[in-house]
Amino acid sequence: MAIPGHLPRLLLSFSCAPSVNDEDKLIELALAGQSSAFETLVVRYQDRLYTAMISIVGSADEAEDVVQESFIQAYLKLDTFQRNSRFFTWLYRIAFNFALARRRRRKNHQSLDETRENTGAEPEFEGDTPDTRMTRSEDIQLVHRALALLSEDHRSILVLREMEDLSYEDIAEVLKISIGTVRSRLNRSRAALKQQLEKFPEWNPNQ
């Protein structure tokens, strides 16, 4: 399967995309060489993936690069997608690995807090999640300050569950851990986040 002549940077607009809503059909068309079918998948998932990646890498520009790299990789590897999970879960795992690799490369040079200060970027989340305090506009900045102080394992699983609202099964697939580990790690991560939030004088747990 050849790569389309160009996969533009984020927030693409395609006038030639087929009017097909079924994900499996879009994948079949893309595998058959119809690049506009894959472009439809890009349009469908790019914003959601971009928002999630900001929470992982802490930078709008880096999140955009991660999403771009992930869609290119997904296009190249589409024939390896086994379809025993949702396409977005498979795509998210690709992006998640890219994001973690970037964070690790950057770790010795700049902390996540410094990156956020330099870029001024803070993610915005839409829709209801299991923990509404993590997405209320007045609490987003505090939550992300606290997330930045957590370990990579704790931060990652909270983003997947509380912000992306992935199922335990999907989280297990993305992180390559058992569902039992998902449950126990999520409990520890929530406790760790609560501890960090309570260190901020402006945090009001009773709101």
The domain spans of the chain are: 14-111, 124-200
pLDDT of residue 107: 62
13 pLDDT tier (thresholds 50, 70, 90): very low
**Element counts in the chain: helices (H) and strands (E):** 9, 0
Secondary-structure class of domain 14-111 per CATH:
mainly alpha
Cβ neighbours of 122 (radius 10 Å): 14
Diameter of the chain measured on Cα atoms = 57
Q: Is the pLDDT of residue 160 over 90?
A: no
Highest mean pLDDT among 67-76, 114-123, 166-175, 198-207: 67-76
Secondary-structure class of domain 124-200 per CATH:
mainly alpha
Q: Do residues 28 and 102 touch, judged by C-beta distance below 8 A?
A: no
124-200 has the same fold as 14-111: no
This prediction's pTM: 0.65
Look at 1-15, 25-39, 84-98, 135-149 and tell me which has the smallest mean pLDDT: 1-15
